[in-house]
Homo-oligomer: A and B are copies of this chain.
């Protein structure tokens, strides 16, 4: 932490700040310029509220210089993490494609879709059984019955499975059926849920909150890791901005930024970011070209019939064509698919 005193701050004001810092057990390093003094504070400042010092008379600015996250940081772990989900390795050489329907509707729908995406090259099968809906009057998902279907289809097609968990009480029941537990954007700061997932020994796919900064996102991952579960996969799915033409604004820059700050893998979700089928392929290609470790895509064997988010679901043939395009791109980022 660095405390910048106002120009020509009286010596006694400076000393009052220094005294408080020492009283709290910090080492203080004082740097006196011709007209301004700066105090360097060394020690465990993670829990200090910098504003307390801003309010001292004579203080111009307080700057926190250490990152508040630890376990997620590349400073803590230099080499990139590779996370294993039933044999699928996320964060390694291979760009991993996760595909499937938004919502699990029926056995027929899941198996039909799973076979098509597996054949095209997807490695993880997605499908929602518990659905966060903004309206209380909308369909809320099939629950456990849906997850059993997902598991069976995943087994038949040799795919790992991923599905969203909304509530602590659902975790236990999901474990037999799901290889990756997904936390949705709206729950990114549901701290009780994050802490509970820290006790689980399965990978967690953590979506970025709609208005979460990259730092808040890493701190949410820290909640899970602090409990002992180190297998966190980050997923960029678009942030909320003033632009309303697209549902959200995919923050493509988050991919190189996360790779610099953290050792955790990051994938992208072009379906929720755009909300429209015809924008999904361009965004998926961009995610891979920017260096993403994977893509999470909604595909439905018959999107017209989808109960939810049909308009953003790809047709199986569109998905197969997209996979061909991604195969062209991956050598440009030194990856395989």
Contacts and interface: CB of A to CB of B under 8 A. Distances in A.
Nearest to A243: B213
A78 interface: no
Interface string A131-172: 011111111000000000000000000000000001111000
A32 B134 CA distance: 30
Contact of A133 (B33, B191, B253): B191
A19 B85 CA distance: 46
29 contacts: A7-B75, A30-B31, A31-B40, A40-B40, A47-B139, A51-B275, A52-B310, A69-B135, A135-B222, A136-B223, A166-B192, A186-B190, A210-B211, A211-B211, A211-B242, A213-B244, A239-B249, A240-B242, A243-B251, A249-B251, A249-B253, A250-B252, A252-B282, A257-B279, A288-B289, A325-B332, A325-B333, A328-B328, A329-B332
Contacts of A34: 27, 42
A187 interface: yes
Contacts of A273: 253
A194 B168 CA distance: 15
B312 A46 contact: no
Which secondary structure dominates where chain A touches chain B?
mixed
A63 B50 CA distance: 15
A21 interface: no
A190 B190 contact: yes
A173 interface: no
A169 B68 CA distance: 29
Nearest to A26: B33
B244 A244 contact: yes
